[in-house]
Amino acid sequence: MKVSAIACLLAAVAGAVLACGESRLVPDDDLPVTVPEEDAAPDPSTPDAGRGARTCSEPIEPVSCPNLEPAPTTKTAIASFVKESAIPLRCGEGADAVWDVRPLVELYGSQKIFMMGEVHGTNEIGIMSSILLEELATRNQVNVLAFELPMEMGERLTSWVATGEDEAVDQWLQQLAPNMFGRILTVTARELAKKGIPIRVVAVDYAYMPQTPIAAIREVATKLTTQADTVLATLPSGPPTTSEANAYFDHIMTSKSAICAELTSADCDRLNAMTHALWVSTFLEAGLQDELWFARREEVIYYNMKSAMRSPTDRMFLHMGAAHTNKHEFSAGSRMTHEYELTKDKVFSVAPAFGNGSVIWYGEPQALPGEPTTLTSALSHAPPDPLFVSTTRPSTKCEENAFGLEPELRSSRGTRAETYDGYIHYGKLTSEKSPDDTTFERDSEVGKEGAPTSSTALALSGARFRELRVRVEAKERAALMARVARTSAMR
């Protein structure tokens, strides 16, 4: 029986040979990657390094404030602060429109991870993200692209980015909306590779198939002696039931100290992550446990992010839902910011802001109210072009940043300044299912090739992937709504 292209793409289980070829588990240390000189600081001021010399604002200059005044607290004063601080990322009209993401490039500087927070199902965020990836990679400020796709997919996508040759990836890309992050960022990375700027692609999310973590756990067990049976005796041979997954998870966590006494720290970390991945993959399709599922999924994401950032020369562009990219607490992004030695205090994170009237695709069309209102009320719900507002820089009047006081309820219990380095206000978001409704477009054809086809064969091959995305989004939404409700009650 012929294996469908999308199944080949997603069913990359260690040691398994499918009709489409052999696949290996991530991480893989042998994947190609651009390696910048560690001590050579990037030069974001070079006008021809990225998209062009035309700009929309003055260079970001340090604000010299011998004495900082308190942050504004009245509604009028905060609105004034926001308006003064807003930096245009695009300006002009029609053929004269200019993208100018240089301010974000300059603020990122020599840090190790640029985290792009997303609201799923939009045109505008994917477009902006692809432009940022292009600019940062062209300036040698990132060499790894990571995003919220099943962990099995990274190696195949890296190969496609390098060669442009993989029928399964071709078909998968065709099935995605043109501005969906998985598609537009992958195509952008391919265009960079054509210019001699290779990008390693890492899919950092849950395992699509339980067989993926099962194979990884078996591989770790080969390094055990007396504890091998502890790991293998009750390890399911195929997709487990929820009760089996629960029992195995509890068994490994209870026995972890004894098991890890025979393992290196790296192998113990892998066993822990893959045990979480097995549970998450099982409960993706069965059972609720939304908040627990979300928390255990973060363990998997954190492990995959660490695995992608093993070298001091690795610099990552990460595109994920904004909850995962918050720097304050509970998320994989916060742990990369505060725990992981190679990236500690070297993470720059931006969150999305959007106006009333936004419509996104989240399993179905959904209307969103403007958020955060501090920005939307000051900058309007539909500014003509995207604007960036820092949460950490003082005003030119040497006032402390107002966002150092304002709580970020959506993603953490911290302030907006503790949670994100800034917000990009996109205006009104539009559904990725309606790409012609975009409030702004790229000034190139990147991401537009291979428009979605109506072919029945292709549509059916992608149905499984889309079904699981809907399940993931539903679990995320339930977990985050519960977290917001708890946080609001505590305040």
3-state secondary structure of 200: strand
Mean pLDDT, to the nearest integer, of 159-180? 92
3-state secondary structure of 150: strand
Token pair for 320: 């994920």
- Contact, 429 vs 353, CB < 8 A? no
Mean pLDDT, to the nearest integer, of 200-222? 96
What type of residue sits at position 460?
L
Least Cα distance to 351 among 131, 146, 126, 118 occurs for: 118
- Please give the pLDDT value at position 217: 98
Of residues 305 and 55, more confidence is placed in 305
If you write DSSP's letter for every residue of 45-69 in order, what string do you get?
T-TTTTT-S--SS--------SSPB
- Contact, 398 vs 326, CB < 8 A? no
Token pair for 353: 């802001």
- Where are the alpha helices (H) located in 89-164, listed in sequence order? 102-108, 124-138, 154-163
Q: How far is CA 490 from CA 40, 387, 409, 413, 486, in A?
A: 46, 32, 11, 9, 6
Most confident range, picked from 33-42, 303-312, 463-472 = 303-312
Most confident range, picked from 165-169, 248-252, 406-410 = 248-252
User: Regarding the domain delimited by 5-39+68-208+299-490, which CATH topology (the fold level of the hierarchy) does it fall under?
Assistant: EreA/ChaN-like  fold (3.40.1660)
Q: What is the pLDDT of residues 337-392, one digit of tens each?
A: 999 999 999 999 999 999 999 999 987 899 999 999 999 999 999 999 999 999 99
Instruction: Please tell me the distance from the alpha carbon of residue 73 to that of residue 79, in angstroms, as a whole number.
Output: 10
Strand partners, 422: 350, 390
Q: What is the pLDDT of residues 412-458, one digit of tens each?
A: 789 999 999 999 999 999 999 999 999 998 876 564 544 333 333 33
Q: What is the pLDDT of residues 117-137, one digit of tens each?
A: 999 999 999 999 999 999 999
For residue 468, name the pLDDT band (cuts at 50, 70, 90): confident
Lowest mean pLDDT among 109-113, 244-248, 304-308, 451-455: 451-455
Cβ neighbours of 98 (radius 10 Å): 17
Q: What is the pLDDT of residues 218-261, one digit of tens each?
A: 999 999 999 999 999 999 998 999 999 999 999 999 999 999 99
For the beta sheet containing 144-150, the strands, ordered from the edge strand earlier in sequence to the opposite edge, are 87-88, 387-390, 422-425, 347-353, 113-118, 316-321, 144-150, 200-205
Share of the chain above pLDDT 70, in %: 82
What type of residue sits at position 261?
A
Least Cα distance to 138 among 182, 184, 102 occurs for: 102
What type of residue sits at position 371?
E
Least Cα distance to 367 among 354, 379, 377, 383 occurs for: 354
- Where are the alpha helices (H) located in 373-462, listed in sequence order? 373-379, 416-419, 456-461
- Please give the pLDDT value at position 443: 72
Of residues 54 and 329, more confidence is placed in 329
- Please give the pLDDT value at position 105: 96
3-state secondary structure of 310: coil
Least Cα distance to 55 among 44, 71, 41, 63 occurs for: 44
Mean pLDDT, to the nearest integer, of 280-305? 89
Q: What is the pLDDT of residues 77-98, one digit of tens each?
A: 999 999 999 999 999 887 788 9
The dihedral region occupied by 357, where left means phi > 0, alpha psi between -120 and 50, and beta the remainder, is left
- Please give the pLDDT value at position 93: 84
Evaluate if residue 470 carries a pLDDT over 80. no
Residues 6+ apart with CB under 8 A from 96: none
Q: Are strands 87-88 and 387-390 parallel, antiparallel or unpaired?
A: antiparallel
- Please give the pLDDT value at position 446: 61
- Contact, 424 vs 350, CB < 8 A? yes
First-to-last C-alpha distance (Å) of the chain: 58
Angle at 389 between CA 316 and CA 317, to 5 degrees: 10
Token pair for 378: 């000051």
Mean pLDDT, to the nearest integer, of 29-57? 52
- Please give the pLDDT value at position 489: 63
Q: Which long-range contacts (CB under 8 A, 24 or more apart) does 138-141 make?
A: 138/49, 138/50, 138/51, 138/192, 138/195, 138/197, 139/42, 139/43, 139/44, 139/46, 139/49, 139/50, 139/105, 140/34, 140/36, 140/42, 141/42, 141/44, 141/105, 141/108, 141/114, 141/315
Evaluate if residue 307 carries a pLDDT over 60. yes
Q: Look over the chain and give the mean of its residue pLDDT values, rounded to a whole number.
A: 85
Least Cα distance to 54 among 105, 91, 109 occurs for: 91
Mean pLDDT, to the nearest integer, of 461-484? 71
Of residues 47 and 109, more confidence is placed in 109
Instruction: Please tell me the distance from the alpha carbon of residue 364 to that of residue 462, in angstroms, as a whole number.
Output: 17
For residue 171, name the pLDDT band (cuts at 50, 70, 90): confident
Instruction: Please tell me the distance from the alpha carbon of residue 60 to that of residue 103, in angstroms, as a whole number.
Output: 6
- Contact, 139 vs 195, CB < 8 A? no
Instruction: Please tell me the distance from the alpha carbon of residue 12 to that of residue 207, in angstroms, as a whole number.
Output: 10
For residue 1, name the pLDDT band (cuts at 50, 70, 90): very low
- Please give the pLDDT value at position 134: 97
Q: How far from the centroid of its chain's Cα atoms is residue 139's Cα? A: 20
Mean pLDDT, to the nearest integer, of 59-88? 91
- Please give the pLDDT value at position 50: 57
pTM greater than 0.85 (yes/no): yes
- Contact, 420 vs 454, CB < 8 A? no
- Please give the pLDDT value at position 146: 98
Residues 6+ apart with CB under 8 A from 4: 460, 461
Q: What is the dihedral of CA 261, 267, 269, 273, to 10 degrees?
A: -120
- Please give the pLDDT value at position 51: 56
Domain residue ranges in the chain = 5-39+68-208+299-490, 211-294
